[in-house]
Amino acid sequence: MSEQATTKNSRPFLIVGIIAVIASFVVYGRFQDPEMVTPDAIESYIRLSYGFYVIFALALGSIAYGLYNYQKQKAVIGRSGIFHTLAAISFTKKSQKIFIATFISYGIFFSLTSGTLVYDEQISFSYHYGAKIPSANIIPCCDAPGYMPKIVVYITDHVGLQIIPINLLLQIIVSYLVGLNMAIAVNAIKLSKKKRGMSTVGAATGLFIACPTCVGSLLSIFVGTASGIALTIALTQLQTVFIAISIPILLITPFILARRMMNSDGSCMVDFK
């Protein structure tokens, strides 16, 4: 079976998954009219919210499977080219360990900075919000497309989760790209010590951009929390803008580093095992 034929098998999973994610956001966004939320419609909204997350989870699973299968095929079957180099690097045992560790650790860090994972020892959820500990609630309406339905989970009296679809999607995308950049950058730095033609500074760039949420977090640390809610909102917006800008960079950088890790015949310098 040719490389082109095998890679095509992965594309339907990617295409269907992406379309399903976009469609779920658009369709659910049409039900965000407060006037539509009547006492009789609450149960229907809750069922619709459950359906949204089922489709959303299946779509993400389809994308993950398609992307993994495509990368694996490129690594095993490919012989040369930029995509083969990227796949070959990302599928070494060392790279997979780096990717998984970075994906998980950065995902936790992103959760804290984005407000998905909430910890506040000064606020009692049961006292201030009347929440039942532990408990989970789904909020079906009403906000801009992508921000509903929201899931609020009270784990302890001071630890909780606030799951917003668009934030969850952004967290997965950025964490994946950060993990990929970290795995490739580590290999690039290792090769730069062996190959004079590679720049250690250029390779280290992948490590620098591998934390797009750090700027907002560092600003909040230096400024402190005593400046009020308005400043906190401003910092959050700044962080969101920086993340949005960093995504294209996180997409481009692996290709730049991978090109430097190719032999003259287009094969990868890193042996795929």
Q: Is 109 a member of any domain?
A: yes
Q: Is 273 a member of any domain?
A: yes
Residue 64: per-residue pLDDT:
93
Number of domains in the chain: 1
Residue 263: per-residue pLDDT:
66
Q: Is 37 a member of any domain?
A: no
Q: Say how many C-beta atoms besides its own lie within 10 A of residue 230's C-beta.
A: 8
**Residues spanned by the domain of 229:** 83-116+164-273
Q: Is 214 a member of any domain?
A: yes
3-state secondary structure the chain: CCHHHHHHCCHHHHHHHHHHHHHHHHHHHCCCCHHHCCHHHHHHHHHHHHHHHHHHHHHHHHHHHHHHHHHHHHHHHCCCCHHHHHHHHHCCHHHHHHHHHHHHHHHHHHHHHHCCEEECCCCCHHHHCCCCCCEEEEECCCCCCCCCCEEEEECCCCEEEEECHHHHHHHHHHHHHHHHHHHHHHHHHHHHCCCCCCCHHHHHHHHHCCCCCHHHHHHHHHHCCCCCHHHHHHHHHHHHHHHHHHHHHHHHHHHHHHHHCECCCCCECCCCC
Residue 210: per-residue pLDDT:
47
Residue 109: per-residue pLDDT:
82
CB of 158 closer than 8 Å to CB of 125: yes
Q: Is 254 a member of any domain?
A: yes
Q: Is 131 a member of any domain?
A: no
The one-letter code for the residue type at 191 is: L
Q: Is 7 a member of any domain?
A: no
Q: Which residues is 271 bridged to in the sheet?
A: none
Per-residue pLDDT of the chain (273 residues; tens, 9 = 90+): 444 444 457 889 999 999 999 999 999 988 887 777 777 788 888 999 999 999 999 999 999 999 988 888 887 776 667 888 888 888 888 888 999 998 998 888 888 877 788 888 888 888 888 888 899 999 888 888 888 899 999 999 989 898 889 888 888 988 888 888 888 888 777 776 655 544 444 444 444 444 554 444 444 434 443 343 344 444 444 555 566 667 787 788 888 877 777 766 656 666 555
Q: Is 46 a member of any domain?
A: no
Residue 149: per-residue pLDDT:
92
Q: Which residues is 162 bridged to in the sheet?
A: 152
CB of 238 closer than 8 Å to CB of 219: yes
d(CA 189, CA 152): 42
